Amino acid sequence: MRRNVLARRGHFWTMKKRLANCRTNLRVGGNKMFSLKDKVAIITGAGQGIGRAIALALASQGAHIVIADINAKSAGSVIDEIRALGNQAIVVEGNVTNEADVQKMVADTIAQFGKIDILVNNAGTVLTGPLTEIALGDWDKVMAINVKGVFLTCKSVIPYMIERRYGKIVNIASVAGKIGGGLMGNSCYATSKGSVIALTKAIAKEMGPYNINCNAICPAFTDTPMTVNFPKDKREAIIRAIPLGRAGKPDDIASAACFLASDGAAFITGEIMDVNGGLVLD
């Protein structure tokens, strides 16, 4: 009888311990699975919009942040928000299409933090209008920022990830890259984001052996400074086609980026993740 009571007590304490371990592993923020504590993350184009939301979200999970943006003023205001959370953060002003700027971004990060765990390729631009009216210079500019920029940052950052056999790359593509754009004539933008999707898969294959994960997020229409001037009728038509009945918010994209940057996504690579309210289901 007494042995039974002792056995039950032992079982009770084992179960309690297992439950406590489970809670520790799953608790967002202070846990192993989703925590980004003391990770170092570079986010390009984090001075506003989706990039800003991603920087704040990664910081809220404990990451130290490098804001890489062509606009030092807006980047500076995000730095203040991150430091207010108690995290370390630096701004590196630069253009992702310029290899020297990108190399400086990496050098400054290594000088400050000694490593790079996470790279979020978010800097981007949009171009709308009929294909026959796109000026060659505009086409080249969009391709340079949206595609060459991702290539250059990956080229400079990946050697540091290979060295440590650890890295998480998250590329911000777009639903346009999957379906050829939307209502406003997006051939150039869609082509650039389709390229980001292909590049994501290629990097995932090539860098998998080094324990580097590379994934992309495809947002649908999201309310940011980029889309603030879209014609109202077009915005409403897009939202009508979204089953969840609203535009995306930067935080919707940021939470997906946090997951993909975490060790909770350790076995996910080459994934093209839809964050689109159900607009495209494939």
Ligand X SMILES: NC(=O)c1ccc[n+]([C@@H]2O[C@H](COP(=O)([O-])OP(=O)(O)OC[C@H]3O[C@@H](n4cnc5c(N)ncnc54)[C@H](O)[C@@H]3O)[C@@H](O)[C@H]2O)c1
Contact between 106 and ligand X by CB under 6 A: the answer reads no
Contact between 182 and ligand X by CB under 6 A: the answer reads no
Tell me the window of 8-16, 32-40, 92-100, 233-241 that interacts with ligand X (CB under 6 A): 92-100
- E-state strands within the chain: 40-44, 64-69, 89-93, 118-121, 167-172, 212-219, 272-275
Within 219-238, the residues that bind ligand X by CB under 6 A are 219, 221-222, 224-227
Question: Which residue, 33 or 134, is less far from ligand X as judged by CB?
Answer: 134
Residue 45 beta carbon to ligand X: minimum distance, rounded to whole angstroms: 3
Contact between 190 and ligand X by CB under 6 A: the answer reads no
Tell me the window of 5-13, 123-131, 161-169, 260-268 that interacts with ligand X (CB under 6 A): 123-131
Contact between 51 and ligand X by CB under 6 A: the answer reads yes
* Cβ-based neighbour number of residue 58 at 10 Å: 28
Q: Which of 36, 40, 55, 70 binds ligand X (CB under 6 A)?
A: 70
Cβ atoms of 39 and 89 closer than 8 Å = no
Contact track, ligand X, 153-172, x by CB under 6 A: -------------------x
Q: Which of 117, 128, 125 is nearest to 182 (CA)?
A: 128
Find the farthest-apart pair of alpha carbons in the chain and give their distance in angstroms, rounded.
Answer: 88
212 class by beta-carbon count within 10 Å (0-12 exposed, 13-18 middle, 19+ buried): buried
Contact between 191 and ligand X by CB under 6 A: the answer reads no
CA–CA separation, 178 vs 39, rounded Å?
31
Q: Which of 154, 173, 155 is nearest to 216 (CA)?
A: 173
CA–CA separation, 212 vs 210, rounded Å?
5
Cβ atoms of 185 and 129 closer than 8 Å = yes
* Residue 189 annotated in active site: yes
Residue 248 beta carbon to ligand X: minimum distance, rounded to whole angstroms: 7
The phi, psi pair for 213, rounded to 5°, reads -95, 140
Q: Which of 88, 125, 128, 255 binds ligand X (CB under 6 A)?
A: 125
Applying CB under 6 A, the site for ligand X has a residue count of 29
Catalytically active residues are 189
Site for ligand X, rule CB under 6 A: 44-45, 47-51, 69-71, 74, 95-97, 122-126, 145, 172, 174, 219, 221-222, 224-227
